[in-house]
Structure 1
Amino acid sequence: MAEDRRERADAARNRRAILEATERLLTESPPEQVSMERIAAAAGVGKGTVFHRFGNRAGLMRELMLERALSLRESVTHGPPPLGPGAPPRERLLAFLDAVVEVVGRNKGLLAALGQAATTSRDTHEDAREQHSVYEFWHGHISGLLAEERPDLDAELLAHVLMGALQSGPIVRLLGQGEARRLAMSLRLLVTGVLKE
């Protein structure tokens, strides 16, 4: 029993080390240069451990994306304001968009995966459904806050427009060049303009 607990603790520690190493390497190098071998070395584990835990590179990237997205969801639903409940809708929306930019700035493939998932049927692979649920939550949160602040707007469509703008090639390249702050400020200007009566 004690050995099982130690193995589970080791597996959890390895998982955390692998995800942290992957994220760190993605901030230092273009995604195509972040190999499973480099990740294993940076995490201090064998390459076989990485493959055993995540299956392949795509599985590892997907896991990182989902973990970051789920962490953001937790902050939105249970965290302190302005990201969490309790702040006015405008403040929550701006804080959420800042947080989305931070998340995708750390994982450039996130928005592309979310965009693909948004057009994928719910009846397909489990991974696509998980990604689709992330897109649905982000879209639903944005559209809900827009509608609360300005009931006269087409909040559902505007939320898709905001999410779609984030998925464009020039924006992904901008994030790759470390321009997340610039993007966050532009989104704030855009949303503030939309919310003016």
Structure 2
Amino acid sequence: MCGRRQLPVVGQPQPERADAARNRQKIIDVAARMIESRGADQLSLDEVAKEACVGVGTVYRRFGDRAGLVWALIDERERRFQEAFMSGPPPLGPGAAPAERVGAFLAGLVDRVVSQLDLFLLVELGSPKSRFGGPYRVHHTHLATLLAEARPDADPHFLADALLAPLNAHLISYQRDERGLTVEEIKAGVASIAAAVTARPAP
């Protein structure tokens, strides 16, 4: 990931200095190894700093908190997902009706969360700034833009939050583990909500 810009795709910061990029990559590599060997819930920024041979302050300044470090770990898959809904083929990408794109985006986001569920569970334990910044902000902006076209009579920003709420990792984990729902059943339920939200009210 050295040399690549960070999330979100929209509004990127300036490129990093070479030494900062090297330290960032060391920290990410160490964190990835720790998660692989111990699990995501055992990730400690202090231990990551010690193993990466950098100061604890460097880790906190660079990533803010544990959730920020986890977002860096899931950066590549998130980047590909963002590219797909911004410029990929329809219905996820441009070219389909707004309501159809909303449904395709939410289905894709379910798959996105499930693919790295342990890391998303960890992100959701972070501060609201971490949880609702970064990719969430990009997802929200994208949804709100589509909803403004599909439902010009409603507040697209509120509806975007409402549609994203059921896609949190803890709820998806509970639905799968406790209720026995499959990913396809979860996606079908989300599709029903999206259809209801994007349907224009009768005159």
TM-score (norm 2): 0.60
The 1:168/1:33 distance shift into structure 2, 3 A limit, reads closer
Query: Structure 2 stretches of 5 or more lacking a match?
Result: 1-24, 44-50, 54-58, 60-65
The secondary structure found in structure 1 opposite 2:94 is coil
Give the letter aligned to residue 77 of structure 1.
M
Checking the alignment, whether the CA contact within 8 Å between 2:113 and 2:120 is kept in structure 1 is: yes
- Structure 2 residue aligned with 1:183: 186
Out of 152-161 and 166-175, give the one that drifted further: 166-175
Question: Which is further off, 104-113 or 172-181?
Answer: 172-181
What CA distance in whole angstroms lies between the structure 2 residues aligned with 1:96 and 1:166? Answer: 11
Equivalent in 95, 99, 103 of residue 112 of structure 2:
103
Q: Structure 1 unaligned runs (5+)? A: 1-11, 35-49, 121-127
Distance across 2 between alignment mates of 1:83 and 1:137: 15
Identical aligned residues as a percent: 29
Would you say the 8 A contact 1:114–1:134 is kept in 2? Answer: no
Q: Cα distance, 1:136 vs. partner?
A: 0.7
Per-residue CA distance 1:104-153 (angstroms, 9 max, x = gap): 00112326626846x32xxxxxxx49x71211110111111111111012
Q: Partner residue of 1:81? A: 90
Answer yes or no: is 1:92 the counterpart of 2:128: no
Q: Is the 8 A contact 1:93 1:142 kept in 2?
A: yes
- 1: distance between equivalents of 2:39 and 2:185? 20
Q: Which has the higher helix share?
A: 1
**In structure 1, C-alpha distance between the alignment counterparts of 2:95 and 2:125, rounded to whole Å:** 30
Q: Please say if residues 98 and 150 of structure 2, whose CA atoms lie closer than 8 Å, have aligned partners that are also in contact.
A: yes
Contact 2:147 2:156 in 1 (8 A): yes
Q: How does 1:29-178 map to 2 (within 5 A)?
A: 31-32=40-41, 61-108=70-117, 109-110=119-120, 113=123, 116=126, 119-120=128-129, 128=130, 132-167=133-168, 169-175=170-176
SS in 1 for 2:133: helix
How far 1:162 sits from its partner (Å)? 1.9
TM-score, normalised with respect to structure 1: 0.61
- Alpha-carbon spacing, 1:112–1:183, altered in 2? closer, same or farther (3 Å): farther
Length, aligned pairs only: 164
Alpha-carbon RMSD across the aligned residues, in angstroms, is 4.3
